[in-house]
Structure 1
């Protein structure tokens, strides 16, 4: 039998909650599957432990005293949480992880790479739910109190999260054949300064590198004014397809448009240095099994390890 530090037994607390929920001793005893005499004994023991009357009883009615009502309202959610946690741990030991994951991810990475894997994960683990309540390309402060797992592109500052590299984002210069026919195809990064640039927020500057040999290389930064800046990779891609300018986008975003001939590449001997893709997750203290299950699944799917 579970006993709190002050001597109170959790079964006695469950008795009070059952009486409050069902409105009678008999119904509460039935719900707990115990004899009415056991229920009365547990309630009396709880009142003796607290030194206060919690229930007013007569031959017809059962009602909580003001103190009993207050104690019930404050203790019920705590007991519910305790029992839910206990159930989760039992399920974990039975290889049936369950829980609610809070995830933050960039919109483009989610759309083109993560979402298909999220769908596979949910099919494989039906007792786990995903909540993607923050979709952003911006770097910002985040903590384990806000999110369980965070996906980000680019080098990450030190934080309370562990950072697992799960891939790289390689960017490519693209434009529509209509735009290139009208304004010409740039052959050198310096020529981009006279072209309409379509940028993703916050990537307003482009770094293009040319490797002459195994030792020397040249990097040129393009920071001319942009014609359009959008915080959504797909919208930038659609603007490029419409012939509004030249974009520098991740390969996984433009692969389909290149294959269909909607976009063309240029200056293929110049490249944008790849940016790491990280999965950030809690590393200190107890990590629930459903979080470990998710991070293991994503790491295996994206790195093959």
Structure 2
């Protein structure tokens, strides 16, 4: 215990001594700027005018530096200040460092506001990204040549902060979060089927009839086999469904519906092209599905958002302000 106490004391003395040395050697940024201004102008008065400070403040900063370092950095006279050899050596070392600090600050400001630049890491829902965001991303890169983008389309619910993503596009309802969510478009749920299927199943006239019809179920939903509707008079009804195919691949289900395999519960953005060309027909357009949600841009923080992130978010919001997948309800 005695030896341990001695070693502990030695460690304490050593740490304290290092701190004193560090404090004596290192000046704050204001002192360095004042020292460079003094070296460039040659007088306290001129340095004060350049910095917008009283000449006595410049003199005090020089004196403080010299006292901490234990060396004279400049010779003073009533009209002129000249650097000593130690002062000139110190100036030669710190001047490029100050230039680097100023350049770094300018680059940081450029990231926060001004021209978009830098590398963006973006997470997208895979199918939605491929169907609707691919051309928007390419167009964005043409418009912002100083930005590069890395896109993750794995459909993972990525941890933006932990995995260092700048931005994500998310669909549906969002849980409470410290993240900042910006709604950029609506999306609507609907049920649909092919004309050939409806020709064979003419008895499907209301949501309740789906309980005995072959249905195609998307397993990415919380309860894929329970479809809940709200009628034109705000009445609610729910139906339990089953069918020949269930999957978490929305494109597979759309293809199955187009080929007459069953009734599909989907989003308007997923089936819009097939609805537009007549490959699918919406059922019960006067009924709404109890499945709220939208398209969101999600970012880690609102304050201090880099220009690259803000520019991409604004680009997506503008391009999706009139959703290209929106289908008029018939």
Normalising by structure 2, we get a TM-score of: 0.60
Q: Distance in 1 between matches of 2:217 and 2:113?
A: 49
Q: Equivalences for 1:48-127 in 2 at 5 Å? A: 88-89=107-108, 92=111, 95-127=114-146
Q: Which residue of 2 aligns with 1:298?
A: 316
Q: Deviations over 1:131-188 (max 9, x none)?
A: 222432x6x4623232211211222112221111111111221111222223335111
The 1:271/1:93 distance shift into structure 2, 3 A limit, reads closer
What is the CA deviation profile of residues 196-216 of structure 1, one whole-angstrom value per residue up to 9, with x for unaligned ones?
A: 21122322132221122xxxx
Partner of 1:73: none
SS across alignment from 1:159: coil
Counterpart contact for 2:171–2:295, Cα < 8 Å: yes
Question: Following TM superposition, by how much is the alpha carbon of 1:297 offset from its aligned partner in structure 2, in angstroms?
Answer: 1.9
Residue 259, structure 1, aligned to residue 276, structure 2: yes
Verify the 8 A CA contact 2:129 2:153 in the aligned structure 1.
no
Query: How far apart are residue 284 of structure 1 and its match?
Result: 5.4
1:84 and 1:131 map into 2 onto residues whose CA distance is 26
Please state whether the residue corresponding to 1:126 is helix, strand or coil: coil
Partner of 1:23: none
Structure-2 change in CA distance of 1:99 and 1:173 (3 Å): same
Tell me the distance in 1 between the aligned counterparts of 2:109 and 2:300: 22
Report how many aligned residue pairs link the two structures: 228
Q: Is the 8 A contact 1:149 1:280 kept in 2?
A: yes
Q: Where does residue 241 of structure 1 map in the other structure?
A: 258
Match of 1:12 in 2: none
> How far off its partner does 1:7 sit?
4.7
Instruction: State how far apart, in whole Å, the 1-side matches of 2:262 and 2:304 are.
Output: 50
Task: Find the residue that maps to 2:150 and give its secondary structure.
Answer: strand
2:245 aligned with 1:224, yes or no?
no
Which of 1 and 2 has greater Rg?
2
Cα distance 1:145–1:100, how it changes in 2: closer, same or farther (>3 A)? Answer: farther
Point out where structure 1 has 5 or more consecutive residues left out of the alignment.
9-40, 47-81
Change (3 A) 1:277 1:93: closer
Q: Does 1:154 align with 2:175?
A: no
CA distance in 2, matches of 1:129, 1:113: 20
Q: 1:286 to 1:95 in 2, by over 3 A?
A: closer
CA distance in 2, matches of 1:103, 1:195: 40
Q: What RMSD over aligned residues (CA atoms) do the two structures have, in Å?
A: 3.3
- Give the match for residue 82 of structure 2: none
Unaligned runs of 5+ in 2: 1-21, 28-88, 95-100, 323-330
Q: Is the 8 A contact 2:227 2:241 kept in 1?
A: no
Partner SS for 2:123 = strand
